[in-house]
Structure 1
Amino acid sequence: MNKSHLLSLLLAVALLLTTYKLVDTRKKAEEISQSSSTKREAILSVIHERKSVRNYTDQKVSKDDIMTLLKAGMAAPTGFDARPWQFLVIEDRNTMLELRKELKYARGLDGSPAAIVVCGDMSKVREEAPEFWITDTSAATQNILLAMEGMGLGGVWSTLYPGKERMEHARKVLNLPDHIMPLAVIPFGYPTGVEKPKDKFDANNIHWEKW
């Protein structure tokens, strides 16, 4: 084989390798794009399908699923990375019914197989931002509710804070220490399907640049 033929062969091989790499790169880019699109659709679906669920089947929620919910809660954003949250899981029906007595609007507790009480831990708050526990635990509560929707569960945010009587009642029933502030109780379980998501979008609530 003369030099001319060898050079042509090498150029052909180089061209094939370049073409292969381009095709492979394009394929990977398409896979990433498709994966990103699927992820986006899944996340937005969970957000828009979330609803307040107060009616549940008798099916119990496994400990593993409850831990998954709590991990989602602790993945919430938190000012100064303080993580000023504590979570109390209730599965005892008598405790939930006792808690329900002074919580007029927490009717989800009437039939839920479990509940999570989201609390702020005052021993973890920063002096320069003492009220951040409210936003941090609220973000954790929303994370839990979204995780429930994504897992085929359902729950409802039942407010404790800032109602002093509601908070004191929860503190008494649940034997909460003084440095623990109850923010909300989330009754949850497998939904019966009664509740449906609501379209709450209103363009009149959107403002650009300045009011």
Structure 2
Amino acid sequence: MLDVIKNRRSIRSYIDKSVEENKIIEILKSAMQAPSSKNSQPWEFVIVDDKEILSQLSKVQHRAKHIKEAPICIAVLGNKNRFLKAGKWMQDLGASTENLLLEATNQGLASCWTGVFPKNKVVNKVKITLDLPGNLVPYALISIGYTNEENEYIDRFDKKKVHRNRFKNT
């Protein structure tokens, strides 16, 4: 198993250190390598490093407070102009977001996924904060930065959740 998969964790504490631009680009390259339905690639991204905007994003919902302390936050957005089938874009953005998180870990950074979609109240707050056009739907906010927090592998494999051929409640 790849170490980056084993070591990825949601980390919400960051130190005061900027994230290098080359690392941000590598993270976004990985996000855009995700599979997408009919290769629609419905994603767009906004990199936020302005402290005032980070503070505003930290207030869009109760589980977003940590965004204020992060040096950057990447807003993962769905572009409605590229939605080919209803619902498929959410799967595409989920795959893109996971790639983004894994590459952040690969780059030696901490990150945390804060869900936005489908909560309309949160979606609208993010749209207003980022001044998004109508065709862009906020899907997730990913805080990224350096941390002093220790990250320890936790084995989450549970054989009881694995079934073969048919579901068998054991």
TM-score range, shorter chain: over 0.9
TM-score by length of 2: 0.94
TM-score by length of 1: 0.76
Query: Relative to total residues, which structure has the larger helix share, 1 or 2?
Result: 1
TM-fit CA distance, 1:195: 4.9
Cα contact 2:57–2:64 (8 A) shared by 1: no
TM-fit CA distance, 1:108: 2.2
Q: Secondary structure of the residue that 2:154 maps to in structure 1? A: coil
Whole-angstrom distance in 1 between the partners of 2:108 and 2:153: 14
Percent identity among equivalent residues? 29
Query: Relative to total residues, which structure has the larger strand share, 1 or 2?
Result: 2
Check if 1:167 corresponds to 2:123: yes
Unpaired segments ≥5 residues, structure 1: 1-40
Check if 1:70 corresponds to 2:70: no
Question: What aligned pairs does 1:1-211 form with structure 2 within 5 A after superposition?
Answer: 44-126=2-84, 129-211=85-167
Q: Which runs of 4+ in 1 moved over 6 A?
A: none
Q: Specify the alignment match of 1:33 in structure 2.
A: none
TM-fit CA distance, 1:154: 1.1
Whole-angstrom distance in 1 between the partners of 2:60 and 2:41: 29
Unpaired segments ≥5 residues, structure 2: none
One-letter identity of the residue aligned with 1:179: N
Cα contact 1:53–1:155 (8 A) shared by 2: yes
Looking at CA atoms only, which structure, 1 or 2, has the larger radius of gyration? 1
Whole-angstrom distance in 1 between the partners of 2:66 and 2:153: 17
Whole-angstrom distance in 2 between the partners of 1:102 and 1:84: 23
